Amino acid sequence: MKFIRSQKSGNGAAFVFQVSKQEVEWLLSVLKFYPQLESGYHRITQGGAAEIKAEQQLLEEAMAQRRREHKSKLDKFLATPGRFRLEGPDQFHFSLTPEQMEWLLQVLDDVRVGCWVKLGRPELEPSPPKNLTVGEARALTALELSGFFQMILLGAYDGPEPA
């Protein structure tokens, strides 16, 4: 997958990406993991001050609400006919508005961080955890793939790579 150009769309600029069939399958499989993070993950403060209990609850509710909105947008995004347009042999194009870029980045990060939490919050450097169960191996794959797609989306803000 790579960013190829930005173009004008109905709502303003759009980022156009080129993906292979394999990458489309990877992207869809990663997005199926969403949402991964649970509301209890979010903490408003490091300390457990009693007076901040209401704010903690507010944060959890806000995050749950945000996830519901993102899930709705994601479902609509994926259900759009011709989302991935065939442009050549094993070449698909799809475009994202800046607003879609932002929530897709958040969705991918939710998968990445959520999978990391499910794996027991391991250190990922210098090497990822070993001796994994099938479920853990899937979570690690989703974690790595979501990072891969995040990098490509973020790279679009710097413009296309020189040919």
Return d(Cα 49, Cα 43) in angstroms, integer.
11
**Cβ-based nearer residue to another protein, 92 or 145:** 145
**Cβ-based nearer residue to another protein, 92 or 110:** 110
Binding site for another protein (CB under 8 A): 37, 42-47, 49, 55, 58-59, 62-63, 66, 102, 105-106, 109-110, 112-113, 116, 121-125, 143, 147, 150-151, 154, 157
**Cβ-based nearer residue to another protein, 41 or 86:** 41
Contact 117, 44 (CB under 8 A): no
**Cβ-based nearer residue to another protein, 4 or 59:** 59
**Min. distance of Cβ 30 from another protein in angstroms?**
15
**Min. distance of Cβ 109 from another protein in angstroms?**
4
Dig out the tokens for 132 from the structure. 């994994």
**Min. distance of Cβ 66 from another protein in angstroms?**
5
**Min. distance of Cβ 116 from another protein in angstroms?**
4
- How many other C-beta atoms can be found within 10 angstroms of the C-beta atom of residue 61? 11
Contact 97, 11 (CB under 8 A): yes
**Cβ-based nearer residue to another protein, 19 or 35:** 35
**Min. distance of Cβ 91 from another protein in angstroms?**
26
